[in-house]
Structure 1
Amino acid sequence: MELTTQQRNESISNATNALLFEDDYLHIKNAIDQLHLLFAGVTGVNAGNITDQDIHLPSGKAVSTIKAAHCLKELERTRRFIRGIYRAINHLLDTIPGHTINILYAGCGPYATLLTPLTSQFTAAQINFILLDINPDSLEAAKILYEKLDLLDYVVDFVCTDATTYKFPDSVRIDMIISETMLNALRKEPQLAIMNNLVPQLNPDAIFIPEHITVEAVLTRWEEEYKYFITPDYQPKRIKAGLVYRADRKFQLPKPVVIHAPASETHNRLDLFTEINVFGGEMLKTYNCSLTMPLAVCKLENQNEDIAVTFEYVMSDNPGFTCTF
């Protein structure tokens, strides 16, 4: 028997409460599964076998509709982002009382994963959305979802366009932007190109989610990383080589940076580590999800002295950091 709109929204509310306020991972997994079952049932987009194609842009890859649906199923990623956005919305409601918070979601995918659950926590008088995606199939699925869940009061507009060139409408004050269009070490996808376009358009009090992203060069040792997975609470020994880049509200594109990798007899792999602060201390750290998996740069064999490594970010259809020695 098909659920009523009220039953669907109660299901979203229960799952969202678990994501926001529970720490038991079984409850969190059940909440994610519950949301996926509901969203997939309504939209017809299932996070199953990936049979559709990505969209290739001059600024990087826009993931396919099914890949975008899969993002929901990364537990820690979804939980941390939703908790951070929940905190950010409450912050804005406190600082600009009586004002409807207008949120631009750049790369919303078929489920608008990071905002749809929060309709159970805030009214349409408190938050409104512009849902933007370059993939017409994803945007059409989001429209169907909001129509069938009776949530259209939350949506100012559905926009099918490239977020790297989108200009804010004159009629809407944007108070928050959400863009989670990245892979680990900011490669392949257009997160920075999107930030480069959208952040300068924000008013000074507006919030960009994630609040900051850092990419750091680290010397690692395979045995130490392996122990992390087999020994509870083990802290692997690593050697930090230096900050490669930090993206935040004071946005600037990466400039070439020289990192001095120290000599080491034990740590012979140079990796890029990514950490993401969503908002208000809601962090995604190394190994928490696919966005924060270490990216291997190279092996440093017979390293008897410091090595200078230059990292440079290439803005192209395949963006990412290159390194030269």
Structure 2
Amino acid sequence: MLEAPNKRVLVDLIHLMLEEKNDGRADQICLELVQFWIGLAGLEANHEVPRYSQSGLVLSPDMAGNCAFGLTRTRRYLTAVYQSVSALLRDQSDNLPVRVLYPGCGPYGILVLPLLVLFSAKQLIVDMIDYHAASIRSLKQIMHILGLDDRIQCAEGDALDYQIPNTQMPDLIVSELLLPGLEKEGHVAINEHLLKQAPEAILIPEKIDISLCFVDPETEFNQHESMKNRLCLGLVFSMNRNSLLAADSNSDLMEGRIVNVPEYLEPKWIPCLFTHIQLCEGLALKEYENGLTTPIVYALPKSFHKANTLVFSYNKGFMPGLLCSAVLS
């Protein structure tokens, strides 16, 4: 078990990070927190390669663990979870602890588990799901060192197979099983699967919007260029509570949006997907703030120049991603 003075360091780091308003200083504090946290894990290096399951791409424990160093992402998630748990505790009248379900938690559970030191066992408990046994072992070691073994329950396997026990219905579902443009990973399908079992649960992120813009690559991807030359066609897909609950569980497809094709496009413009991640009210990950929100080039149908509209849908099955058809109306 971690000695009290060292646990105090952890508590102080989290409080400092949550209270710091300057993004640069907050990221530096978050880096210290991440380094402290992963030092508890003792995760053995492994050379697993990403694999595909029924829910899409599954990162290796090493790759999932490295995501912790996306500092803006990590601290904003922690802040969103902290604010949501605190609000739930204020609103709950049954005196039961807030229960968080965290699929795809990786070897560190970094987006939720550090907050356990700020809340008592009567306030917060966490259920974890991860595909890899190595990640589960790492999580259990961290919790044992902190003396928090009784605050988590771990399930190994694909989150799409997970059935929430009636006695463990979550108040909050926290996940980050995604890449830019909601490509490849199973974030949408897994959130649908879990939310339909616990429809009253709060989602973090509460919304992920994908928009299509034509961009000038000379300005868009030049970090020294402040003026971006874009033609934005608008929102093409949104994952949120309503769209997940309305999705057909027997179909791999979810309905997207329809956008008009411009009459004229500059020859040098290329189509890109922009990802906006709304974690909770007042907290978001915006374009270029993290790898998850860096625009990605998107291949439109070859016939799109002859079309009037582009019709989008989302494949939440094997090899998840945005689909597009060009329609001449």
TM-score range relative to shorter protein: 0.7 to 0.9
The 2-side partners of 1:136 and 1:75 are apart by: 26
**TM-score, with length taken from structure 1:** 0.88
What runs of 5+ residues in structure 2 fail to find an aligned partner? 248-253
Stretches of structure 1 that go unaligned for 5 or more consecutive residues are none
Match of 2:110 among 107, 110, 113: 113
Residue 70 of structure 1 pairs with residue 63 of structure 2: no
Structure 1 residue 256: Cα displacement: 5.0
DSSP-derived class of the 1:230 partner: coil
Given that 1:5 and 1:150 are in contact with CA atoms closer than 8 Å, whether structure 2 keeps it comes out as: no
Residues 260, 310 of structure 2: 8 Å contact kept:
yes
Task: Choose which of 195, 216, 236 in structure 2 pairs with 1:244.
Answer: 236
Please tell me the root mean square deviation across aligned C-alpha atoms, in Å. 2.5
Q: 2:181·2:273 contact (CA, 8 Å) conserved in 1? A: yes
Could you tell me whether the CA contact under 8 Å between 1:310 and 1:324 is conserved in 2?
A: yes
Per the TM alignment, residue 238 of structure 1 is displaced from its structure 2 partner at its CA by 2.3
What does residue range 158-197 of structure 1 map to in structure 2 within 5 Å? 158-197=154-193
SS at match of 2:188: helix
* Distance change (3 Å), C-alpha of 1:26 and 1:7: farther
Q: Distance in 2 between matches of 1:239 and 1:194?
A: 33
Distance 1:248 1:300, change over 3 A: closer
CA spacing shift, 1:50–1:80, aligned 2, 3 Å? farther
Q: Aligned residue for 2:261?
A: 261
| Distance in 2 of aligned mates of 1:304 and 1:34 | 50
Deviation (angstroms), 1:307: 4.9
Deviation track 1:104-157 (CA, whole Å, cap 9, x = no partner) reads 1111111110112212322221111111111111111101110111112322x1
* 175-184 or 160-169, which deviates more: 160-169
Letter in 2 for 1:258: I
Q: Deviations over 1:241-295 (max 9, x none)?
A: 1211111112144215432232233772111111001112201011111111111
User: Alpha carbons of 1:123 and 1:68: their partners in 2 closer, same or farther (altered >3 Å)?
Assistant: same
Q: Structure 1 counterpart of 2:275, which letter?
A: T
The answer to whether 1:101 aligns with 2:98 is yes
TM-score by length of 2: 0.87
Shift in alpha-carbon separation, 1:224–1:100, aligned structure 2, 3 A = same
| SS of alignment partner, residue 323 of structure 1 | strand
Amino acid at match of 2:118: Q
1:259 is paired with a residue whose SS is: strand
Show the counterpart of 2:208: 213
Partner Cα separation in structure 2 for residue 182 and residue 304 of structure 1: 30
| CA distance in 2 between partners of 1:130 and 1:146 (Å) | 13
Work out the percentage of aligned pairs sharing the same amino acid.
27
SS of residue in 1 equivalent to 2:196: helix
How big is the shift at 1:313? Answer: 2.1
8 Å Cα contact 2:98-2:123 kept in structure 1: yes
CA distance in structure 1 between the partners assigned to 2:269 and 2:24 by the alignment? 37
Decide which moves more: 8-17 or 184-193. Answer: 8-17
- Contact 1:102–1:130, Cα closer than 8 Å, also in 2: yes
**For the residues of structure 2 that align with 1:299 and 1:323, how far apart are their CA atoms?**
7
Select 2:220's aligned residue among 211, 225, 243.
225
Could you tell me which amino acid in structure 2 is paired with residue 89 of structure 1?
V
Q: State the alpha-carbon separation in 2 of the partners of residues 312 and 18 from structure 1.
A: 42
Q: Which amino acid aligns with 2:230?
A: R
The 2-side partners of 1:76 and 1:20 are apart by 12
**Per-residue deviation at 1:191?**
0.4
| Aligned residue identity for 2:287 | T
The alignment status of 1:122 with 2:119, answered yes or no, reads yes
